[in-house]
Amino acid sequence: MEPFAEPILVTRPYFPPLEQYKKELERIWQNQYLTNNGPLLREFQTNLSQYLNIPAGNLDLFCNGTLALEVGLYASELPGYEVITTPFTFVATAHAIKRIGAIPVFADVDPENLCLDPAACEKLITPRTKAIVPVHVYGHPCDVKGFEALAKKYDLKIIYDAAHAFGVKLGGKSIASYGDISMFSFHPTKLFHSCEGGLLTFADAGLQAKLEQLRNFAILSETQCVDVGTNAKMNELQAAMGNLCLKAADRLIAYRRSIHETYENAFADCKNVRMVKVTSSRSASKDLALVRNDAYCPVLFKDLEMREKVYTELKKYNVYSRRYFYPLLTDFTPYIDGNATPVARDAAARVLTLPTYDNLSLKDVEKIAAIVKEIAGE
């Protein structure tokens, strides 16, 4: 098979029509407001509230997902406590926990959809555990009922890292409605973005004022500072991009569905490669109706050797897949940990995320799948 003429990246950001963005820039120039709760940010907040069907008092915008999570964890009063999370995620999840002075404890994942496993978490709960941070990895829904049960039984906070899960619905409502807090990343590698950006949604509307304070240095006035805040504000250029991308979100999600389906069909009869399942048959939430977002296209190979071969050889065809998420966080210096997480370790060794984005044609997806099968064998 011939290599692609242009590089095929694991993802490429959606760019709204330039003319539309120029119009938004003109508004910013007229407003003479660039950041600090400007009018476009407030508009973006209203638009997201409508899109997600979450009251405007239950969400807040940030300059990126990492700081959003950090501020959400800090506001939940977790410093000094143990927080259980997954080692099979992007490193930002653990960084946010550690940077606020909490102690990340790593539990294993569900073998089917690779989300944190509530049963594995339960075994690690101690009197110092105050929260669990499950990740809806790849946009796959966690076992929200399982975590709800743990929260009740042990009086824990559940704070979802929903960085990948924009647009996902579960049980007829946004996935943002589950747990105490959810964090969404609006980084350009996500299917919905605002250049950089992050969103927190939260069950307790009383949290909003605290989050707004914390993301603005925790200053109340020119003469009052009440906590150790930070600067995590989203600016007007980000909000302008977010507003335009939101108009395209449903179409982008629908197109990713067709890309995912194209890979699914191509690998349906393969022994050496298979798609990771979106929902787990072991999940107590498996019967909740799911609207998926197909944010990523992760596949599992027979073993590490084969995954490495495919990852390397794809580059000869001008295809740049990524090993999201390899290595495990517990292999990184700050997080080396004594807990064994064999399911996560096995997945990290065998997983590869294949290209998916708006401008990738289905014909090209078929060709990528054919190349993968040629390298891995069927």
Which positions lie near ligand T4K, rule CB under 6 A? Answer: 9-13, 64-66, 89-90, 92-93, 135, 161, 163-164, 185, 187-189, 198, 320, 322, 324
Among residues 270 and 319, whose Cβ is nearest to ligand T4K? 319
Nearest Cα to Cα of residue 296 among 93, 75, 108, 136: 136
Among residues 112 and 161, whose Cβ is nearest to ligand T4K? 161
Rounded CA separation 2/317 (Å): 7
Sign of the C-alpha dihedral computed for residues 325, 327, 333 and 339 taken in this order: positive
Among residues 10 and 105, whose Cβ is nearest to ligand T4K? 10
Q: How far is the CB of 70 from ligand T4K (least distance, A)?
A: 9
Q: How far is the CB of 268 from ligand T4K (least distance, A)?
A: 27
Among residues 163 and 297, whose Cβ is nearest to ligand T4K? 163
Rounded CA separation 193/195 (Å): 6
CB neighbour list of residue 98: distance below 8 Å, 6 or more residues apart: 104, 334, 335
Rounded CA separation 199/48 (Å): 9
For ligand T4K, the nearest residue by Cβ is: 65
Strand, helix or coil for residue 201: strand
Q: How far is the CB of 85 from ligand T4K (least distance, A)?
A: 10
How do beta strands 319-320 and 8-9 pair? parallel
Among residues 90 and 301, whose Cβ is nearest to ligand T4K? 90
Among residues 65 and 272, whose Cβ is nearest to ligand T4K? 65
Contact 83, 135 (CB under 8 A): no
Q: How far is the CB of 157 from ligand T4K (least distance, A)?
A: 17
Rounded CA separation 184/66 (Å): 9
Q: How far is the CB of 241 from ligand T4K (least distance, A)?
A: 11
Among residues 253 and 270, whose Cβ is nearest to ligand T4K? 253
Beta bridge partners of 53: none
Q: How far is the CB of 185 from ligand T4K (least distance, A)?
A: 3
**Per the structure block, which two tokens stand in for 150?**
């743990």
How do beta strands 129-133 and 157-161 pair? parallel
Q: How far is the CB of 66 from ligand T4K (least distance, A)?
A: 3
Q: How far is the CB of 220 from ligand T4K (least distance, A)?
A: 27
Among residues 93 and 280, whose Cβ is nearest to ligand T4K? 93
Own/partner pairs for 257-260, CB < 8 Å, 24+ apart?
257/292, 257/294, 258/362, 259/294, 259/297, 259/356, 259/360, 259/362, 259/365, 260/294, 260/297, 260/356
- For 28, other C-beta atoms within 10 Å of its C-beta total 18
CA angle centred on 305, ends 302 and 306, rounded to 5°: 50
Q: How far is the CB of 12 from ligand T4K (least distance, A)?
A: 4
